[in-house]
Amino acid sequence: MFPKETNILVVDDSINIRQIIVDNLKRLGFVKVETAGDANDAYAKLVSSSKGPAPVSLILSDLNMPGPSGLDFLKQVRDSEKFKEVPFIMITTESEKQAVIQAAVSGVSGYIVKPFNLDTLTKRLQEAWKKHNP
């Protein structure tokens, strides 16, 4: 499982969902959680954190966001030499299957269907961890 000091970036345009995810991550013991309201802001935070002592090493992003979508963001991250290995979990809804398949092909580390609970989040984090640390 991801170490508790993992720096996590949570991306969602809904302030509430963002807060819920942050709360849940904190409840799981994670102490370093950053947030972003859209993909552009998220990429900027990814870049700036990489220059500091604790670079972002796990991303949880909403799929459906105004502006660049979560899929666009994923592709941007996977295309970057620097961030392509960063575990990336997509937050989706039941009706977004096609985009999730595209995300799977584009190298997403896992996905979570909203609404989700703590158990599901834990399970998906474990799966993503296993995928990146076989």
Partner 1 sequence: MSEVDYSYFDALVDSVFVLNKDKGISYCNESAAKLFESSVRRLSKGRPLSEYAKFANENLFTADAHPMQEVQFELVAGGKSGKVQMATQPFVNSKGEAGWIAVIRDVTLEEALHAKHHKQLQELEAYSKNLEQMVQERTAQVQKANIMLAAIMNSLGQGFLVFDRDGTCSDFYTKACEDILESSPAQKKIWDVLKLNPNEIETFKMWTQATFAEQLPFDSMKDLGPSAYKHSQDRHVRLDYFPIRAEDNKIVNVVQVATDWTNEYLAQQALEKEKKYARMIIKLVTSKRQFASFLESVPAVLRECRKLALDSQHFDYETSFRLLHTLEGEAGIYSALRIWQASRQAQEVIEPVKRGEATFTPEIHSKYTQAINHLEAEYKAFLQENAELFELAGMGGSQKVELEKVHVSNVIHHLKSKAVSTDTIHYLEDELMRETVISSLNHYNDVISDVAARLSKKVYPIEFVGGDLRLFTENYQNLFSSLVHAFRNAVDHGLEGPEDREMMGKDPSGRLVFKSEFFELNNRRWVRFALSDDGQGIDASRIRTKFAGSTESDDEIIQHVFDPGLTTRTVVGEFSGRGVGLNAVKAEAEALGGRAIVKTEIGKGSQLIVEVPDLGFPNSQKLSA
Q: How far is the CB of 19 from partner 1 (least distance, A)?
A: 7
Q: Per rule CB under 8 A, is residue 133 in the interface with partner 1?
A: no
Q: Per rule CB under 8 A, is residue 20 in the interface with partner 1?
A: yes
Span near partner 1 by CB under 8 A; candidates 8-16, 28-36, 47-55, 76-84? 8-16
Answer for the pair 99, 108: CB distance below 8 angstroms, yes or no.
no
Output 50 or 78, the one with its CB closest to partner 1.
78
Nearest Cα residue to 54 out of 89, 6, 2: 6
Nearest Cα residue to 49 out of 32, 62, 66: 32
Q: Per rule CB under 8 A, is residue 117 in the interface with partner 1?
A: yes
3-state secondary structure of 19: helix
